[in-house]
Chains A and B, each alone.
Chain A
């Protein structure tokens, strides 16, 4: 009897130890993953704050000995960074909104009306993601040239919409499918028409997916370099990724400090966006996942 009691206690202790070790392992793994993810950003931050002499050190330190904002001052003095940020913001925001406006109803149709056409359309959307840039830019260049939209912000935004639309559609189709069909049926039973059902039932449930997809489209356009380089000629229209190359010299020589400062600036909008809406995305995605 007593032997059994001891062994039960021991078993309980072992289970607790196991649980604690498991949880510790999870936290360590999570910390390692976070460190891995944040390494480029922290390195960029550290480099942007270093004076030139620290940049040339063979033993680079994480924390600058004499932190300075001089690289930022130089970066802004050398290149029209604010203008470029404005151009990138405009192109990314407008293309993200346009892509969402176009993709949402399409995604609904593809997800809810499943027939041969929707299956072929979905497959085409997935396949189109494998197309290399060179195949896309040829027809786009032709169309934009004939529309006199080369060196035009509108032309660039059109390209970004076309470029991000398939993936946005694919993402949103998944989100629509995840919404139980029964909810819409219940709304119909309660007397709501299709439009009312879409507006009052489906769209609120789809909101986190829309936000996530918009974020994806925004970041795709924000980071895009090749289309902007080829299609925009005027300096006042250039986007941030193109302007960043102006800190590079021949044979890979770089003005490292100002480049890091400008690159840091380029990463901030995406980070801020994520910081502001990540809770909403995660919360929205998990809402209703478990029956209480």
Chain B
């Protein structure tokens, strides 16, 4: 188990990784007004009111969340939950200012890779002792690990998505390549060969949307045994870029620069940006998150035949994920009630409703068995079959990872994928420069 960081360490790390704007906004409150949570604000006539800050944004997902809150409120007149809408692009800064200003919501929806500093900083409640046994049993250990920091649970993982290959089924069939299944996925070599066979005329075999290349590269590298971040017994983390770490980035690089089976124009694109080209037949496959199926189902031309394939396998069929989580603020004076609401929200049928609303996979084993998530339509079955292969993203609990990602890995990988630098130069940057960055967080 890692030792708890000291306060100066916490503060230093926090302000290294935060955006200047948010830190500046939080600073005065942090200095002068710590922890002024107002209990009276939460009670009206003896009734507890908890604020649930949700990041649901798709229509069905917002609806499911609101309905569940309404159901809870109907059955729990003494513990009312207030639905507060927040947004993914601003949640980090908003939470930071909320925590420091003593205005944090009681129940917090976020992603596990955003929790580390809040957890280490003492902003989130340790839920280990509060977890109901049913919930503890229902979510597998590899998912729990995504919400654990220093051996304690700070975030309950409830929705996750594998990275998959969304493919043009007609082109796939016409090329004669073997269609991979979760039981028999492609190896990275087979994937490269398939991309070659699918590249013809004006069609590229694959389009890698690599606007943010780091998480895609690291999470997929888990399939070849690549971890990049290696934790020593003392708790210190070291960056390495060994042969197993290099398989995935090299495959992508070669597709872009040597085989020319991947479109170079999508290098700076986000996932959604590649969809029009995919629908127009310019690319046969696009590696995307499982939830992108919602956009494809909505936007694809009616005669467009698409399918979901598992991501390629290396030595194992594993990949890293950062699930959506639910946490409780340390300042919340009614942690047990907050946990009771979370328990209600994550009951198997409710978890299914949330998963369907977000087109993602539930972490709960019971929910995963639900027939609604085991249908062939929109390839839900492919996703549910992959759920067991999802692991905690190797980098997410590493302090200093965001800085390493922004300053070192993102530009390094972008240059490598564009062909501007070679593998040796990339390795030197990721490892030598990267370890210097991490060292500042581990003094």
Q: Name A residues whose Cβ lies closer than 8 Å to a Cβ of B.
A: 52-53, 55-60, 74, 77-79, 133-135, 137-139, 141-142, 145, 150-151, 226, 229-230, 233-235, 238, 242-243, 245-256, 258
Contact between chains at B299 and A245 (CB < 8 Å): no
**Interface-lining segment among B8-16, B268-276, B372-380, B402-410:** B268-276
Q: How far is the CB of A133 from chain B (nearest CB, A)?
A: 7
CA distance A58 to B278 in the complex (A): 9
**Interface-lining segment among B54-62, B144-152, B435-443:** B54-62
Contact between chains at B57 and A255 (CB < 8 Å): yes
CA distance A249 to B109 in the complex (A): 13
Contact between chains at B88 and A249 (CB < 8 Å): yes
Nearest CB to that of B104 among chain A residues? A233
**Interface-lining segment among B20-28, B164-172, B220-228, B254-262:** B20-28
CA distance A150 to B282 in the complex (A): 51
Contact between chains at A141 and B103 (CB < 8 Å): no
Question: In the complex, which residues of chain A have a beta carbon less than 8 angstroms from the beta carbon of B388?
Answer: none
Given the known interface contacts A58-B282, A234-B84, A245-B87, the answer about A253 and B298 at a Cβ–Cβ threshold of 8 Å is: no
Question: In the complex, which residues of chain B have a beta carbon less than 8 angstroms from the beta carbon of A151?
Answer: 103
Given the known interface contacts A77-B59, A246-B57, the answer about A252 and B276 at a Cβ–Cβ threshold of 8 Å is: no
Nearest CB to that of A225 among chain B residues? B90
Q: 29 A-B residue contacts at CB 8 Å?
A: A53-B298, A53-B299, A56-B301, A58-B279, A58-B280, A59-B280, A78-B62, A79-B85, A138-B25, A138-B27, A141-B28, A145-B28, A229-B94, A230-B97, A233-B84, A233-B98, A235-B83, A242-B87, A243-B85, A245-B89, A246-B87, A247-B57, A248-B88, A251-B88, A251-B212, A252-B272, A253-B292, A254-B272, A258-B59
Interface bits B386-397 vs A (CB < 8 Å: 1, else 0): 000000000000
Contact between chains at A142 and B270 (CB < 8 Å): no
Question: In the complex, which residues of chain A have a beta carbon less than 8 angstroms from the beta carbon of B270?
Answer: 251-253
Contact between chains at A56 and B88 (CB < 8 Å): no
Q: Name B residues whose Cβ lies closer than 8 Å to a Cβ of A.
A: 20-22, 24-25, 27-29, 32-33, 55, 57-59, 62, 83-90, 93-94, 97-98, 101, 103, 105, 111, 211-212, 270-272, 275-277, 279-280, 282, 289, 292, 295, 298-302
Given the known interface contacts A58-B282, A142-B32, A234-B84, the answer about A53 and B302 at a Cβ–Cβ threshold of 8 Å is: yes
Contact between chains at A145 and B33 (CB < 8 Å): yes
CA distance A227 to B397 in the complex (A): 31
Given the known interface contacts A253-B270, A255-B57, the answer about A226 and B282 at a Cβ–Cβ threshold of 8 Å is: no
The 10 closest A-B CB pairs, nearest first, are A56-B299, A134-B24, A245-B87, A58-B280, A58-B276, A52-B298, A142-B28, A250-B88, A252-B270, A230-B25
Among B27, B103, B289, the residue within 8 A (CB) of A233 is: B103
Question: In the complex, which residues of chain B have a beta carbon less than 8 angstroms from the beta carbon of A55?
Answer: 299
CA distance A138 to B28 in the complex (A): 6
Known: A243-B85, A245-B89, A251-B271. 4 other contacts (CB 8 A): A74-B59, A250-B111, A253-B271, A255-B58
Contact between chains at B101 and A248 (CB < 8 Å): no
Nearest CB to that of B60 among chain A residues? A78
Count of A-B contacts judged by CB separation below 8 Å: 119
CA distance A53 to B111 in the complex (A): 30
Q: How far is the CB of B113 from chain A (nearest CB, A)?
A: 10
Question: In the complex, which residues of chain B have a beta carbon less than 8 angstroms from the beta carbon of A74?
Answer: 59
CA distance A123 to B24 in the complex (A): 26
Given the known interface contacts A58-B277, A255-B58, the answer about A150 and B212 at a Cβ–Cβ threshold of 8 Å is: no
Question: In the complex, which residues of chain A have a beta carbon less than 8 angstroms from the beta carbon of B58?
Answer: 249, 255
Contact between chains at A248 and B59 (CB < 8 Å): no
Contact between chains at B276 and A57 (CB < 8 Å): yes
Contact between chains at A246 and B299 (CB < 8 Å): no
CA distance A142 to B28 in the complex (A): 6
For A56, A135, A229, A254, the residue with the greatest tally of chain B CB atoms inside 10 Å of its CB is A56
Nearest CB to that of B269 among chain A residues? A252
CA distance A57 to B101 in the complex (A): 45
Contact between chains at A137 and B25 (CB < 8 Å): yes
Question: In the complex, which residues of chain A have a beta carbon less than 8 angstroms from the beta carbon of B21?
Answer: 133-134, 226
Nearest CB to that of A253 among chain B residues? B272
Contact between chains at B103 and A150 (CB < 8 Å): yes
Given the known interface contacts A134-B21, A229-B90, A252-B272, the answer about A235 and B279 at a Cβ–Cβ threshold of 8 Å is: no
For B97, B98, B111, the residue with the greatest tally of chain A CB atoms inside 10 Å of its CB is B97
Question: In the complex, which residues of chain A have a beta carbon less than 8 angstroms from the beta carbon of B277?
Answer: 58
Q: How far is the CB of A54 from chain B (nearest CB, A)?
A: 9
Q: How far is the CB of A255 from chain B (nearest CB, A)?
A: 7
Contact between chains at A145 and B85 (CB < 8 Å): no
Contact between chains at A56 and B300 (CB < 8 Å): yes
CA distance A52 to B292 in the complex (A): 14
Contact between chains at B87 and A248 (CB < 8 Å): yes
Question: In the complex, which residues of chain A have a beta carbon less than 8 angstroms from the beta carbon of B83?
Answer: 235
Q: How far is the CB of B56 from chain A (nearest CB, A)?
A: 9
For B24, B57, B270, B272, the residue with the greatest tally of chain A CB atoms inside 10 Å of its CB is B57
Question: In the complex, which residues of chain B have a beta carbon less than 8 angstroms from the beta carbon of A56?
Answer: 275-276, 279, 295, 298-301
Question: In the complex, which residues of chain A have a beta carbon less than 8 angstroms from the beta carbon of B89?
Answer: 245, 248, 252
Question: In the complex, which residues of chain B have a beta carbon less than 8 angstroms from the beta carbon of A79?
Answer: 85
CA distance A78 to B58 in the complex (A): 8
Contact between chains at B20 and A134 (CB < 8 Å): yes
Contact between chains at A134 and B28 (CB < 8 Å): no
